[in-house]
Amino acid sequence: MAIPLFNNKVVVVCLNLSSRRTCDRWLKKELHKQISKRKVFTKEVLSLVLQDELREVANKEVNDWFGEQIKEKSKGRNHDLTVAEYKVAQETEHLEQIQEQVHDADIVLTASQIAYREVERRQTKELDEKRSELQSVKRKLASVTDKANEAAELLDKINVLYHHSDYLHRQ
């Protein structure tokens, strides 16, 4: 299949050769001047040849074989990006993924901070309760110690009286 280009130049599409390598060798022999793919397959050529003429051929074949028509070509559906646009799109996608990861990490961090504060609050409450219990026990211990001291003093007084009365009885 031959594709007409500007100034009567023709590029041959190697559909009948067995491999791309064979096609490349054949093209190098046949063409005296190497041409960039971008110069040959411009947006207009791709639109006319690949999207219009090939669509007509494919539509005819589909109609012959299956009795159906191919869906009409829609405008603006396929948009070829330049290398710079592609790189920007890739970087934008990568940036969005990183932003999503950061957002997820922020959510996890916030949840961890909330859980930490809750644990800290519970432990502080338990510690305050234990301190209160300790103060209560200290007060009770002080009260019991005071009563024990009073009892010891009374016992000493009783012993003194007992010994004094025993002494008096002996005399």
> Measured between alpha carbons, how far is 12 from 43 in angstroms, rounded to an integer?
18
Tell me what pLDDT residue 154 has: 92
Mind listing the pLDDT tens digit for each residue in 100-111? 999 999 999 999
Identify the pLDDT of residue 60: 84
* pLDDT (tens digit per residue) in 105-131: 999 999 999 999 999 999 999 999 999
Claim: this prediction has a pTM higher than 0.75: no
So what's the pLDDT on residue 34? 62
Distance CA(108)–CA(125), nearest Å, equals 26
Q: Say yes or no to pLDDT of 13 above 50.
A: no
Please give the Cα distance from 168 to 171 (Å, whole number): 5
Residue whose token pair is 């006319």 = 48
pLDDT-above-90 percentage for the chain: 40
Report residue 61 as tokens.
């074949």
CA 136 – CA 126 distance, rounded (Å): 15
The band of 6, judged by pLDDT with boundaries at 50, 70 and 90, is: very low
Tell me the average pLDDT across 8-21: 46
Name the percent of the chain lying above pLDDT 70: 67
Measured distance CA(48)–CA(4) in Å, rounded: 11
> Length of the chain, please?
171
- In this predicted model, what pLDDT tens digit does every residue of 38-87 receive, in sequence order? 766 777 777 777 677 777 888 888 778 777 776 676 665 566 777 888 89
Q: Which residues, including other chains, have CB under 8 Å from residue 49's CB and lie 6 or more apart? A: 3
Whether the per-residue pLDDT at 150 is higher than 90: the answer is yes
CB atoms within 10 A of CB 11: 19
Is residue 165 over pLDDT 70?
yes
Q: Comparing 8-17, 89-98, 144-153, which segment has the lowest mean pLDDT? A: 8-17
In what helix (H) or strand (E) does residue 4 lie, and over which residues does it extend? strand 2-4
Dig out the tokens for 55 from the structure. 């669509």
